[in-house]
Amino acid sequence: MRAWRWATNQLEHRPVFKNVLVLLTGSTLAQLIAILISLLTARIFSPEDFGAFAIYGSITGVVTAIASLRYDMTIVLPDSDEEARVVGKLATRINVIISVAFALAAVFLRNWVFDLWGNRVVADWLPVGGLSIFLVAQVTILQYWHNRTRNYKAISINRVEQTVGSAGGQLGFGVAGMVSMQGLLFGTLVGQAWAFFRLNAKAKDFRQPVGEDAPSLAYVAKKYKKMPLLNLPNALVDAVRVNGIQMLVGLVAVSGLGQFNLAWRTLQVPIGLINGAISQVFYRELAAIKPGGMRLLVGRTTLRSAVFGIPPFIALYIVSPWLFTFVFGPQWDQAGDFARALTPWLALQLITSPISTVFVVTSKQQWLLAFSVVFAAAPLALLAINPFGLLGTIAAMSWMMAGLLGFMIVMALWAARDFDRTADSSEA
Reported as a single tens digit per residue, the pLDDT across 324-345 is: 999 999 999 999 999 999 999 9
- Which of the four pLDDT bands, split at 50, 70 and 90, describes residue 278? low
Contact 42, 328 (CB under 8 A): yes
Element (H, E) at 388: none
Contact 383, 248 (CB under 8 A): yes
Residue 208's pLDDT is 86
- Give the integer Cα–Cα distance in Å for 179 and 47: 11
- Give the integer Cα–Cα distance in Å for 411 and 294: 13
Kindly give the residue spans of alpha helices, DSSP state H, lying in 45-79. Answer: 47-64
Give the residue with greater pLDDT, 287 vs 316. Answer: 316
Q: Where are the domains of the chain?
A: 1-251, 261-425
Q: What phi and psi, each to the nearest 5 degrees, are found at residue 299?
A: -65, -45
First to last CA, the chain: 52
Q: Which of 79-83, 120-124, 293-297, 368-372 has the largest mean confidence? A: 120-124
Would you put residue 259 in left (φ > 0), alpha (ψ -120 to 50) or beta? alpha
Q: What phi and psi, each to the nearest 5 degrees, are found at residue 411?
A: -60, -40
Lowest model confidence (mean pLDDT) among 19-28, 171-180, 200-209, 305-314: 19-28
- Give the integer Cα–Cα distance in Å for 353 and 274: 10
CA 124 to chain centre: 26
Per-residue pLDDT, averaged over 164-168, amounts to 92
Question: Residue 276 above 70 pLDDT?
Answer: no
Residue 279's pLDDT is 57
